Amino acid sequence: MNRLAHLPLPRLKGEVARDASLALYSWFRVGGKADLLFKPEDEADLAAFLIALPSDIPLFIIGLGSNLLVRDGGFRGAAVKLGRGFQSISVEQDYTIRAGAGAADVKVARMAAEAGIAGLAFLRGIPGTIGGALRMNGGAYGGETRDVLISARGLDRAGRVHAFDQAKMGFSYRHCAVAEDVIFTEALFQGRPGDSSAILEEMNAITEARSATQPVNTRTGGSTFRNPDGAKAWELVDRAGLRGFRIGGAEVSPLHTNFLVAHEGATAADIEALGEEIRRRVFEQSGIQLEWEIKRVGEP
């Protein structure tokens, strides 16, 4: 039963949908429905929604869906997909870039490059949004979000605005310490003077490296597992003999063993079962327990 079918809401500018399919919002293209999906137009719209949403209703935020697995039973709660009002990117003084949490990392990297701002090219290698980069201290190709972040802004479940400097973010590997119920809305990044053509060349090299080593044109979910201390997840999976291993319609990518691929007919259950079987076999072979990097939400 949809708990939110008759939830009274204030007049909102953004789109509200009940029993909304989430499969199109995940790169895996699998998964069930959310009781409610809201696409706020701006921060005030999001605050109004959060104030109206009962505190006991589960809530999660959808970025680009590159690191998301929605289970087949769907999500018994509210999902939020940040709208156009959260996708702005602007160049400010002293080689800084301000970006909405819904802005794609690659677009932020490109604007910085065109403005001659170095230091943000690594964002080209992260297939997500700024909000996701903040939440997971996103990093790739020698750079991490914590290296360039000045400050971030977000709303808590009560719709209150909070500001976070770099120290308050509590960054560690693929993690930040900000409460899970905070929804990031924008960030300010510090770059340095650079040559546009050289930065664009660096970004092109990242694009070529991703295309050569990762299954970028498939239904995948990015890096499946976090790298354990002193080890690489893909090497552990490879040593366990799992390259190309399948369960149902889900497969360990033959190109990069820390990526799972959803073939035609795959279900979220196939993908999660494959991930858990990988974890079991890697632990059996190496004694190392892999931890999921992909965010899994919803019910079986």
- Which conformational region is residue 192 in: left (phi greater than 0), alpha (psi within -120 to 50 degrees), or beta? beta
pLDDT per residue as tens digits for the range 101-136: 999 999 999 999 999 999 999 999 998 999 999 999
Asked if the model's pLDDT at residue 1 lies above 80, the reply is no
Determine the Cα–Cα distance for residues 166 and 147; give it in Å rounded to an integer. 9
Beta strands in the chain (DSSP E): 15-21, 33-39, 59-62, 68-70, 75-81, 89-92, 96-100, 117-118, 139-140, 143-144, 149-155, 161-165, 183-190, 192-193, 246-247, 250-252, 260-262, 295-297
Examine the fold and report which residue of 35, 56, 84 is the final residue of a domain before the chain moves on. Answer: 84
**Predicted structure pTM score:** 0.90
SS3 100: strand
Domain containing residue 28: CATH number:
3.30.43.10
Is 146:136 a contact under the CB 8 Å cutoff?
no
Q: 92 and 77 in one domain?
A: no
CB atoms inside a 10 Å sphere around CB 199:
24
The catalytically annotated residue of 26, 66, 223, 253 is 223
Query: For residue 263, what is the domain's CATH number?
Result: 3.90.78.10
- Structural domains of the chain, count: 3
Residues 103, 157: one domain?
Answer: yes
Tens digits of residue pLDDT in 245-297: 999 999 999 999 999 999 999 999 999 999 999 999 999 999 999 999 999 99
Q: Is residue 158 part of a domain?
A: yes
Read off the pLDDT band of 54 (50, 70, 90).
Answer: very high
Stretch 182-209: mean pLDDT: 96
Instruction: Assess whether 223 carries a catalytic annotation.
Output: yes
| CATH of residue 192 | 3.30.465.10
- Is 197 a residue of the active site? no
Active site residue 90: no
Domain of residue 201 covers 88-213
Q: Which of 3, 174, 210, 239 is catalytic?
A: 174
For residues 261 and 219, the answer to whether their CB atoms sit within 8 Å is: yes
Please state the φ and ψ torsions of residue 141, each to the nearest 5 degrees. 50, 45
Task: Write b or e for each residue in 85-104: b if 16 or more Cβ atoms lie within 10 A of its Cβ, otherwise e.
Answer: bbbebeeeeebbbbbbbbbb
In the block, which residue shows the tokens 């965010």? Answer: 295
Mean pLDDT rounded to a whole number for the chain:
95
